[in-house]
């Protein structure tokens, strides 16, 4: 059986995504006290974006598309995880979730992060 170029590309794309858990599923494996390197290795197959404020970092990653895009924020103080939060977003059809990361709302950070940044 011969496959045309489009079919081969489609198969490669599907194989590349196979086995990667949803962002919210993998977020359940993240716990307070883990270090940045552990998290970065765990999330290497996801699109990511970082935002910094003082000694705090908000590392966002995502999965899904269209009405099912899942976004997770891992909150750090220095090199240590302080907490995890999630949000969902509808994005345009056939677009990558990584093009639509939301602006980090530091007021939604875990208490330890807000205390570090003096946010009430």
**Residue pLDDT, tens place only, 68-87:** 899 999 999 999 999 999 99
Pairing of β 47-53 and β 80-89: unpaired
Q: State the pTM of this model.
A: 0.82
DSSP assignment letter at 35: B
Q: Which positions ≥6 away from 50 have C-beta within 8 Å?
A: 57, 58, 59, 60
Lowest mean pLDDT among 10-14, 61-65, 88-92, 100-104: 10-14
Please check whether the domain covering 20-117 is classified as CATH 3.30.1450.
yes
Query: Residue 117 CA to chain centroid, in angstroms?
Result: 22
Task: State the pairing for strand pair 69-77/56-63.
Answer: antiparallel
3-state secondary structure of 58: strand
Q: Are 60 and 98 in contact (CB under 8 A)?
A: no
Higher-pLDDT residue of 76, 4:
76
Count Cβ atoms below 10 Å from residue 30 Cβ, excluding itself.
17
Collapsing DSSP states into helix, strand and coil, what is residue 98? helix
């Amino acid at each position: 059986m011969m496959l045309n170029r489009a079919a081969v590309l489609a198969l490669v794309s599907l194989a590349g995504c196979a086995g990667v858990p949803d962002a919210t599923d993998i977020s359940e494996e993240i716990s307070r006290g883990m270090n940045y390197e552990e998290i970065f290795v765990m999330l290497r197959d996801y699109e990511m974006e970082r935002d910094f404020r003082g000694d705090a970092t908000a590392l966002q990653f995502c999965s899904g598309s269209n009405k099912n895009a899942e976004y997770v924020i891992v909150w750090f103080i220095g090199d240590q995880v302080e907490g995890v939060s999630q949000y969902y977003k509808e994005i345009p059809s056939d677009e990558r979730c990584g093009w639509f990361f939301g602006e980090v709302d530091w007021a939604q950070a875990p208490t330890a992060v807000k205390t570090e940044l003096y946010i009430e």
